[in-house]
Amino acid sequence: MRYLVKIQLFLMIWGGLSVAFAADHIPTRLPEVPRIVAIGDLHGDLAATRRALKLAGAINDNDNWIGGDLVVVQAGDQLDRGDDEQAILDLLSCLSEEAAAAGGALFSLNGNHEVLNVAIDFRYVTEGGFRDFQDAVVVDDADTSLVKYEKSPRARIVSFRPGGKYAQVLAKRNLVMVIGENVFVHGGLLPHHVDYGLDKMNRESREWMLGHAPQPDFLRGKDSLIWTRLYSSEVDAEDCTNLREVLSRLSAKRMIVGHTVQPGGVSSYCDGLVWCVDTGMSAHYGGAPEVLEIVGDKVKVLREKQ
C-alpha cells in the first residue's frame, strides 16, 4: 500500500475530538487519546518490530492494523545495526495509513540513527544494510556527487541524502511529540530545547531532510534531543530537576524516551516522570521486546508471555 501523498488529509477521531492533518506534517501536539503504546528502538530487526507491534495489540500475523483507535508511538532508531531497515520503514509507513483509516495512529519519531543516515554517516550500517537498499533507488552513474564513494554505499546514499527517497519518508516524521500529557522524544528534552521551540525543531529538521536547508545545529552534540542520555543513564537529582522544569513548561506529566538500552527492560526514573523504552530488542543487542501502555494516568509495561 502506497504511503499517503502530501495533499491527502485524514480525519482522526479520538475521544470525540476530531483532528485533521496533512500526511506530510504531523502536528507536534495532539490531544489526549484513550490508549497509547510506546515502542523503543528497533535497529533493523523486522522480527522484533513485529513482535513489539503484536505485543501492543496493533497488528495481526499478516501485518495488518487491528488496533482500532490505539495510538502507537515508536521512539526512533529504526535504522542501523540490522539488515531489515527498508522493510521496517515501509511497514511503519503502511501501518500509519491503516491506523489513521481505523481511527487510530502510528507515529514513528526520528532518532539519532535516522539523522546519522540523512547526514551520510554510515558508521553503524551493516553489510546487509548496504545491500538492502540496492533495489530501492536507481543510481545514476553520471552523478558526480557520488564519485568519491565506493559503489557499495551509493544506493544507500541516494536513498537517505537530503531530498532522497527515504529521507523524504523520514521528513514526514517528528523529532518530538506531545500527546495529551505525555512527551515523546528519542533522547530527551532539556530546558533549552523548550526555549528553542518544539514546533521549530520539527519544522527545521523536516526542511533539512527534504533538502531545503542545512542540518540544524540542535541535531548535533551530546545535549541534543536525539543524543542526550541525562534521563536514561545514571540519572541524578539535577537531571530530575531539569525534567520537572521541562514537563511543567509543557503542561505534561511524563516523558517517554528511547536511545539508551535498559538491560532490565522498560525502566522509570525520577518517580515515574520519565520512562525509558529501549529494551535492546533487536538481534544486535539480544533483548526481549517490551512496550509501555499508557491509559490515562495508568502506566503499565507489557511483556511477552513466557
| Nearest Cα to Cα of residue 113 among 175, 191, 37 | 175
Q: Active-site residue 113, yes or no?
A: yes
Q: Please tell me the distance from the alpha carbon of residue 219 to that of residue 273, in angstroms, as a whole number.
A: 24
- From the candidates 43, 113, 186, 259, which is the catalytic residue? 113
**CATH code of the domain containing 165:** 3.60.21.10
Please state the separation of Cα 270 from the chain's center in Å: 23
State the pLDDT at residue 306: 77
* Identity of residue 14: W
Is residue 160 in a domain? yes
**In which domain, by residue range, is 208 found?**
9-303
Q: Could you give the angle at the alpha carbon of 164 between the alpha carbons of 159 and 168, nearest 5°? A: 110
- Tell me the average pLDDT across 235-245: 98
pLDDT > 90? residue 288: yes
| Nearest Cα to Cα of residue 86 among 48, 123, 130, 52 | 130
Is residue 51 in a domain? yes
Is residue 164 in a domain? yes
State the pLDDT at residue 1: 36
pLDDT, one tens digit per residue, over 138-171 is 999 899 999 999 999 999 999 999 999 999 999 9
Q: Please tell me the distance from the alpha carbon of residue 133 to that of residue 138, in angstroms, as a whole number.
A: 10
Q: Please tell me the distance from the alpha carbon of residue 39 to that of residue 257, in angstroms, as a whole number.
A: 9
Residue 92's pLDDT band, with cuts at 50, 70 and 90, is very high
pLDDT, one tens digit per residue, over 165-220 is 999 999 999 999 999 999 999 999 999 999 999 999 999 999 999 999 999 999 99
Is residue 1 in a domain? no
pLDDT, one tens digit per residue, over 7-57 is 233 334 344 333 444 456 689 999 999 999 999 999 999 999 999 999 999
State the pLDDT at residue 4: 36
Q: What phi-psi label fits residue 176: left (phi over 0), alpha (psi between -120 and 50 degrees) or beta?
A: beta
Is residue 61 in a domain? yes
Is residue 45 in a domain? yes
HSE (side-chain half, CA atoms, 13 Å) at 207: 11
244-249 own/partner pairs: CB under 8 Å, 24+ apart: 244/270, 244/273, 245/191, 246/183, 246/189, 246/190, 246/191, 246/193, 246/194, 247/183, 247/273, 249/191, 249/194
Task: Tell me the DSSP string of 98-158.
Answer: HHHHTT-EEEEPP-HHHHHHHTT--TT--HHHHHHTTTTS---TT-GGGTTS-STTHHHHH
* Greater model confidence, 13 or 108: 108
* Greater model confidence, 116 or 9: 116
State the pLDDT at residue 24: 61
Q: Which 3 state secondary structure label does DSSP give 93?
A: helix
What total number of domains does the chain contain? 1
Is residue 97 in a domain? yes
| Look-up of cell digits 483532528 | 19
226 and 259 in contact (C-beta within 8 Å)? yes
State the pLDDT at residue 14: 42
* Identity of residue 61: D
Is residue 58 in a domain? yes
